[in-house]
Structure 1
Amino acid sequence: MPLSAASAARTILTRLHEVMAARTHAQAKLNNVVEVIGETLDSEVCSIYLLREGMLELFATRGLNQAAVHVTRLGVGEGLTGTIAKNIETLNLEEAAIHPEFQYRSETGEERFHSFAGVPIVRRERAIGVLAVQHVEPRLYEEVEIEALQTVAMVLAELINNAGLVDGEQLDGASSAQTGQAQINGLMLVKGLSRGKAVFHQPRVHIEQTVAEDIEAERERVYQAFDRMRDQIEQMSTQAEFGVDGEHEQVLETYKMFAYDEGWSRRINEAIDSGLTAEAAIERVQQRTRMRMRQIQDPLLADRMHDLEDLSNRLLRIVSGKVGTAATSGLTGDSILIAKNLGPAELLEYDKRRLRGVVLEEGSLTAHVVIVARAMGIPVVGRLRNLRGLVREGDEILVDGDTGQVTLRPTQAVSDAFEERLARSRERRAGYAKLRDVEPRTKDGVRIEVMMNAGLRDDVAMLGMTGADGIGLYRTEFQFLVSAALPARERQARLYREVLEAAKGKKVIFRTVDIGGDKSLPYLVNKTGEEDENPAMGWRALRLSLEREGLLKAQARALLEGAAGRELNVMFPMVSEPWEFDEARKVFEHQVAYLRMRKHQLPSKINYGVMLEVPSLAEVLDLLLDRIAFVSIGTNDLTQFLFAADRSNPALAERYDWLSPAILRFLARVVKTCAPWPVDVGVCGEMGGRRLEALALIGIGLRRLSITPAAVGPLKELISTIDTRALSVRMDEWLAHPPPDMRAALRDWAQEQGVEFE
């Protein structure tokens, strides 16, 4: 055995290059390959299995019966060879027969061989074959032998592919199981249906050349790439968006630890010593990392290995000169974006005309990118582990954001069925489009104000497309979420002015910035400097704005300047007591006085309102009604506060129902409290966009609903089928004496009345 893995691998690579360059047919080349490997490693048996038609077929061997070549076939997961391919793992066995997956094949004549070592032949993260060695005497193979086999297997994958030794389907390195249809279930993040071709946010670097011509030149390329990568990470840690303290700092420290890890760089250097190019050396070490990741049970350690995987990808892109994202090169057709995770600014870089959906390996309900995607109307499914190992660039993908199911490479039958669902969805949307210019009135003539929620400048265009009465909730925080630093007042004012101009006279209710807590910004540190244990009920929204008066002061003046000459509607979020509203309004009035003194044009009228999402406000709402123009009930936060159920926790997602008597009674009480006053009461939140829930809201007296743009058409259609007198009578009865299942009772009543709710 040679003294080092590098020298053994380099010897084999040199000889393999000569073999594959020879003008002989494919089978002869493989026969020579197993001889070269066997001789160099002093192995009695060396065999190559390649994946064809979904089976691992013995293609060439030194030491086993030649009659078994192209006869012995194993399924993926079958026997030792199949286990290696399925798990993409290395096996090193002193006594092969005692392994639980061992299968004896008599035609091979392998009964006299005891020891066994096998490594997967991997191309583009998928096993396309197995390289195995065997000895008569029972022994474990040394680490240097295994490393040499792994390095050779990596180069062999490219040589096999280039020589056309595998079926066309396998040229991309996928087994039939990985090229056929697969359905995976994740977490519903943004609802909707979409289909398109898979596009990786960080495109894979496909290594074209694996064998180095000049080892020292390759080493220098890696050194330069390491320097550039470390510079990037140092810059990340000093950028404004990462602030001073917090969890992000720990993440960056971990990145730095790996980036400067001598062991990692040493392993890459050793791979170059074996004769690999810089790209191939990084990929070789990365393959080894992936194999280790599959064996790690501790989630914390697994996450740390993912950090190293991310750094490896970054280093590989730098050394290959491919440092951009898919947004840089642009989308060429209907696309489903694949990413481990994504920031809101990164999502906004993509062409919305071609981006149909997003699928994330991670992701959560409260992630900023989910908030932006929902506003953009892009379906998102998250929590799909090992996604990159299952999907290839260009694969057809069906995204069902309504169920959290993602279908990869669908069969024709599944594709046709999905297309029918999409067609029905489009047909319904076409029907809704006809209602664009129709006023939403009930059968008995009651006018319901149907407004839409927005948060991006481009969202305002949906006013004309949907026929919504206005924007009942404009989330001003989106501008803050996608900024690296606090947006300048002038920039804020320009946005508000553009929104009002685009609204063309329709009402727009601006909610002052709702950040902090579960929408934390790196450049705004919690006043305690500590992370909230329960961020949804922490230092956020108006609490943060009143504490950081400069923040609210700048936004107040920006809103006043942006609305100059127009009516301005301002809503304060998360008000829990009247004094908070009074303090916030005082900030605005001071800015009004400031602008008036300097002869600036002011809004023609200013209407102030509150967002009722903290239950305590309902108990003192009567003390505030003489000072406000409107109340908007935020059902999303209100529900979780009433039930003490975190809406971002999947385990609690089904523990409460918007049609619970507790919620409906609460809302009815708010409506009754406001009734004697000239105060407009409405709902802004997902509850109003669900047809059955909307029925209940209208039944308890609510006449303004602000919902997502996609729900405007369906809600208009629903309103036209309702008789509010009959509905209100029934709702009063149910609230006084709640049925066992309010949802079922409302559904049955709707069916009796001929009201469609689904």
Structure 2
Amino acid sequence: MVVAAQSARLILTRLHEVMASRTHAQGKLNQVVEIIGESLDSEVCSIYLLREGVLELYATRGLNQSAVHVTRLGVGEGLTGTIAANIETLNLDEAATHPEFQYRPETGEDKFHSFAGVPIVRRERAIGVLTVQHVEPRKYVEVEIEALQTVAMVLAELIHNAGLVDEEDLDPRGSSMAGQQVLDGLKLVSGLGCGRAVFHQPRVTIEQTVAEDIEVERQRVYLAFDKMREQIDNMTNQAEFGVGGEHEEVLATYKMFAYDEGWSRRINEAIDSGLTAEAAIERVQQRTRQRMREIADPLLADRMHDLEDLSNRLLRIVSGHVGTAASMGLHGDSILIARNLGPAELLEYDKRRLKGVVLEEGSLTAHVVIVARAMGVPVIGRVRGVRGQVREGDQIVVDGDAGKVTLRPGQAVLDAMVTRLAAKREKQAAYAAMRDVEPFTRDGTRIEVMMNAGLRDDVAMLSVTGADGIGLFRTEFQFLVSAALPQRDRQTRLYRDVLETAGDKKVIFRTVDIGGDKSLPYLTSKTSREDENPAMGWRALRLSLERGGLLKVQARALLDAAAGRELNVMFPMVSEVWEFDAAKAVFDGQIAFMKKLKHKLPLSVKYGVMLEVPSLAETLDLLCPRVSFISVGTNDLTQFLFAADRANPALAERYDWLSPAILRFLKRVVNGCVGTGVQLGVCGEMGGRRLEALALIGLGVRRLSITPAAVGPVKELVRKIDTREIAAAMNGWLAQPPASMRAELQAWAEARGIETE
């Protein structure tokens, strides 16, 4: 490969002189084809550039000069068009035998048999094609192809700087990006948003390809490799990954690539040819992408994607672009594009301008989804390859309700979106008018409509929505977005701020629900590392009771924050009554300690539980005398009842909240609380959907805690319901379930003029 580097370096040295000259762009390209042709002893060298959506012959040595600016090929048409469309290299000893071969008589190329061509790529998109031809039938040797590929990188810089191509019309495969494209994904957070594409990890644009000093470039790469490997070592050593399991193999492969000498050697060889560090990394990355397109094995393709990620990381380090788009700020309405995100990373963005998030990965239980839902930002996940199909600044419509992403939407889609947004705003205005209206049903039954929260800013929505209070304050958000365990004083400040902002409205604090699928790098359990199903593993109250200090600190923080007020505490994922007793004993111990120190205490402390584990429903007679309230968490309850992991996209929407199994279970819980004085509510997503809320009220549920956006719609729904009528209908359906409970309930509502969407 030394010969290849020397050959490429010789060409680059001469090209550098051409690029530095004052000659006009056409003259420079005319000189370029002569230099390449002479250096490779090739009878023909031609440059095609993408202009107005077609490949135009822009300069040639060996073909008829009269064909320049006359011969044009569509992307995908002929050998040259195929190279641009697939961003691939062709090397043929007999061009006419290729199925895509097309003869253009005006070029005079009929006497040439051999053909080789490489794409001229900028920002992962073909902006032209560099070709060579020879009379004798022969394949070009690897040294020559390597030299052509290296030269093509430099040409991309020259062509871009000269403004010779219409880069705005390109897509990742070289074809038109002006057209609309619809991608399907997994619905993670509902909602509708439109904005310009912004990459969470901004792409590095290489502005200089030819090195001034090769040794300086080599040292830059060495230092970047050291820093990248340090980052990878830190990542693989993080405690949150645990020991054993499939992830170890994945991380081992990732680390293997980071330390692969072959990869670093290829980058060094590219530097030897005269490229800058950035251009050398990109040069090797282009070869990797070409190999990825040839791999049919999905497992091998995934491993090549790992190498692609590492290349991007190395490129950002060597160029000094290590920050995310959040550090630069959003300019206008934006749709964030990322492979994946953490909750803290999402919170760095201005939610006034962030209109949606599109992830290549992501799951229903991911931390970022919880935060995005609280922020009211629609999210779609599992959109494979989206980062390679969209360009920074492209307009995007995110339909979180349908799980669809529309790239570069046409006017019809934009008009439909505007109409939908207008309809939503009109409804929201109607709901906002109900802010101060108490939610009484037609027969005079008062339904408590509370809201869920987890961020300090969420509490302000109490006054905006007119919710009765906060039925679920997720205290774990503070833990999820912190780099270390939040100290007691920080927790106290947050809880006090929440209570003060809420005023005289009730706030129910749920103790931390972390562990399992919400693992934290700074807080792990030996047992949790063995979880094969984290949602049903060592999490929530189980972890808090194991880590007694964690619950003690939180108890003290809550008691301090609520001094002189009422404190409502709810324990998550209680499976048996003794777990509630143990958790309450921690609070009792802190109360006794504070009394001893003569600290000010809350006026009263009321305790409750989340009913998420079905086993707890079998001991309601034992539990109810101990608690003031029970809140059913329908999200986890559903997956536990059906043994269906919500993070699995194949099961995410398979089981209906309006199935007889769920509704009968909930009815049994309602009946178990009747006459006990215990307030029963629902704080899962189920209560925030109008049709499901109708069913819950029919079952006898009188408290709903839902997302702030759902408060208005549910309050409006409540005022249209006669609880006696819907209760009678529900009792009949539960006794003799119809083929579709959802369809039956929908028809019942429509017959009474009750909107359920």
What CA deviation, in whole Å up to 9, does each residue of 1:408-467 have, x standing for no partner? 222233222212211221221111111111111111211110011111111111111111
Residue aligned with 2:452, SS: strand
How far residue 613 of structure 1 moved from its aligned partner, in angstroms, is 1.2
How far residue 262 of structure 1 moved from its aligned partner, in angstroms, is 2.5
How far residue 357 of structure 1 moved from its aligned partner, in angstroms, is 1.4
Residue aligned with 1:621, SS: helix
How far residue 383 of structure 1 moved from its aligned partner, in angstroms, is 1.6
CA contact 1:124–1:172 (8 Å) conserved in 2: no
Amino acid at match of 2:496: R
Q: Which residue of 2 aligns with 1:40?
A: 39
Amino acid at match of 1:512: T
Aligned-partner Cα distance in 2 for 1:702–1:172 = 53
Amino acid at match of 1:556: A
Aligned-partner Cα distance in 2 for 1:157–1:173 = 15
How far residue 505 of structure 1 moved from its aligned partner, in angstroms, is 2.0
Amino acid at match of 2:128: G
Q: Identity across aligned pairs (percent)?
A: 78
Residue aligned with 1:651, SS: coil
Amino acid at match of 1:552: L
Aligned-partner Cα distance in 2 for 1:317–1:253 = 22
Amino acid at match of 2:658: L
What CA deviation, in whole Å up to 9, does each residue of 1:474-494 have, x standing for no partner? 111112212223222222222
CA contact 1:51–1:170 (8 Å) conserved in 2: no
What CA deviation, in whole Å up to 9, does each residue of 1:570-606 have, x standing for no partner? 1111112212211221222122212212212221111
How far residue 39 of structure 1 moved from its aligned partner, in angstroms, is 1.3
Q: Which residue of 1 aligns with 2:334?
A: 335
How far residue 608 of structure 1 moved from its aligned partner, in angstroms, is 1.0
Residue aligned with 1:177, SS: coil
What CA deviation, in whole Å up to 9, does each residue of 1:314-360 have, x standing for no partner? 32223222222111121222221111111111111112222221111
Q: Which residue of 1 aligns with 2:287?
A: 288
Residues 550-559 or 715-724, more deviating: 550-559
CA contact 2:86–2:174 (8 Å) conserved in 1: no
Structure 2 residue 63 is matched with structure 1 residue 64: yes
Q: Which residue of 2 aligns with 1:713?
A: 712
Amino acid at match of 2:266: R
Amino acid at match of 1:228: K
Q: Which residue of 2 aligns with 1:138?
A: 137
Q: Which residue of 2 aligns with 1:362?
A: 361
Structure 2 residue 187 is matched with structure 1 residue 188: yes
Residue aligned with 1:13, SS: helix
* Residues 1:228 and 1:538: Cα distance change in structure 2 (over 3 Å): closer
Q: Which residue of 2 aligns with 1:567?
A: 566
Amino acid at match of 2:555: A
The 5-angstrom pairing of residues 493-572 of structure 1 reads 493-528=492-527, 530-572=529-571
Aligned-partner Cα distance in 2 for 1:371–1:458 = 15
Provide the aligned length of Structure 1 versus Structure 2.
Answer: 757
CA contact 1:242–1:523 (8 Å) conserved in 2: no
Amino acid at match of 1:267: R
Q: Which residue of 2 aligns with 1:200?
A: 199
Aligned-partner Cα distance in 2 for 1:597–1:113 = 98
* Residues 1:593 and 1:248: Cα distance change in structure 2 (over 3 Å): farther
What CA deviation, in whole Å up to 9, does each residue of 1:58-90 have, x standing for no partner? 222333344443333322223322222122122
How far residue 697 of structure 1 moved from its aligned partner, in angstroms, is 0.6
Structure 2 residue 26 is matched with structure 1 residue 27: yes
CA contact 2:397–2:409 (8 Å) conserved in 1: yes
* Residues 1:529 and 1:575: Cα distance change in structure 2 (over 3 Å): closer
Structure 2 residue 686 is matched with structure 1 residue 650: no
Q: Which residue of 1 aligns with 2:159?
A: 160
Q: Which residue of 2 aligns with 1:415?
A: 414
Residues 700-709 or 402-411, more deviating: 402-411
Q: Which residue of 1 aligns with 2:150?
A: 151
Amino acid at match of 1:220: Q
Residues 613-622 or 113-122, more deviating: 113-122
CA contact 2:172–2:389 (8 Å) conserved in 1: no
Aligned-partner Cα distance in 2 for 1:380–1:203 = 19
* Residues 1:331 and 1:89: Cα distance change in structure 2 (over 3 Å): same
Residues 497-506 or 625-634, more deviating: 497-506
CA contact 2:127–2:167 (8 Å) conserved in 1: no
Amino acid at match of 2:603: S
Amino acid at match of 1:559: L
CA contact 1:188–1:382 (8 Å) conserved in 2: yes
Aligned-partner Cα distance in 1 for 2:391–2:611 = 47
Q: Which residue of 2 aligns with 1:5?
A: 4
How far residue 685 of structure 1 moved from its aligned partner, in angstroms, is 0.7
How far residue 235 of structure 1 moved from its aligned partner, in angstroms, is 5.1
Q: Which residue of 2 aligns with 1:222?
A: 221
What CA deviation, in whole Å up to 9, does each residue of 1:131-172 have, x standing for no partner? 122233333322222111111111101111222322363599
Q: Which runs of 5+ in 1 are unaligned?
A: none
The 5-angstrom pairing of residues 679-718 of structure 1 reads 679-718=678-717
Q: Which residue of 2 aligns with 1:102?
A: 101
Residues 312-321 or 280-289, more deviating: 312-321
How far residue 251 of structure 1 moved from its aligned partner, in angstroms, is 5.9
CA contact 1:243–1:522 (8 Å) conserved in 2: no
Q: Which residue of 1 aligns with 2:83?
A: 84
Structure 2 residue 486 is matched with structure 1 residue 487: yes
Aligned-partner Cα distance in 1 for 2:409–2:145 = 38
Residues 270-279 or 137-146, more deviating: 137-146
Residue aligned with 2:472, SS: strand
Residue aligned with 1:287, SS: helix
Aligned-partner Cα distance in 1 for 2:671–2:372 = 36
CA contact 2:85–2:174 (8 Å) conserved in 1: no
Aligned-partner Cα distance in 2 for 1:574–1:240 = 24
Residue aligned with 2:335, SS: strand
Residues 364-373 or 236-245, more deviating: 236-245
CA contact 2:271–2:277 (8 Å) conserved in 1: yes
What CA deviation, in whole Å up to 9, does each residue of 1:161-210 have, x standing for no partner? 22232236359999562233222221111111111122221112222221
CA contact 2:657–2:686 (8 Å) conserved in 1: yes
Aligned-partner Cα distance in 1 for 2:662–2:90 = 58
Aligned-partner Cα distance in 2 for 1:238–1:670 = 45
Amino acid at match of 2:331: T
* Residues 1:385 and 1:263: Cα distance change in structure 2 (over 3 Å): same
Amino acid at match of 1:77: G
Q: Which residue of 2 aligns with 1:402?
A: 401
Q: Which runs of 5+ in 2 are unaligned?
A: none
CA contact 1:515–1:521 (8 Å) conserved in 2: yes
Amino acid at match of 1:678: G
- Per the normalisation by structure 1, the TM-score is 0.95
Q: Which residue of 1 aligns with 2:301?
A: 302
Q: Which residue of 1 aligns with 2:730?
A: 731
Aligned-partner Cα distance in 1 for 2:562–2:424 = 38
Residue aligned with 1:128, SS: strand
How far residue 111 of structure 1 moved from its aligned partner, in angstroms, is 4.1
CA contact 2:170–2:178 (8 Å) conserved in 1: no
* Residues 1:276 and 1:134: Cα distance change in structure 2 (over 3 Å): same
CA contact 1:54–1:175 (8 Å) conserved in 2: no
The 5-angstrom pairing of residues 221-260 of structure 1 reads 221-234=220-233, 236=235, 253-260=252-259
What CA deviation, in whole Å up to 9, does each residue of 1:646-667 have, x standing for no partner? 2222212232111111111111
CA contact 2:171–2:389 (8 Å) conserved in 1: no
Aligned-partner Cα distance in 2 for 1:136–1:404 = 54
CA contact 1:128–1:173 (8 Å) conserved in 2: no
Q: Which residue of 1 aligns with 2:627?
A: 628
What CA deviation, in whole Å up to 9, does each residue of 1:528-562 have, x standing for no partner? 36442222222221222222222222222222222
Residues 389-398 or 295-304, more deviating: 295-304
Aligned-partner Cα distance in 1 for 2:244–2:651 = 31
How far residue 755 of structure 1 moved from its aligned partner, in angstroms, is 1.0
Aligned-partner Cα distance in 2 for 1:510–1:93 = 70
Q: Which residue of 2 aligns with 1:436?
A: 435
* Residues 1:345 and 1:632: Cα distance change in structure 2 (over 3 Å): same
How far residue 28 of structure 1 moved from its aligned partner, in angstroms, is 3.6
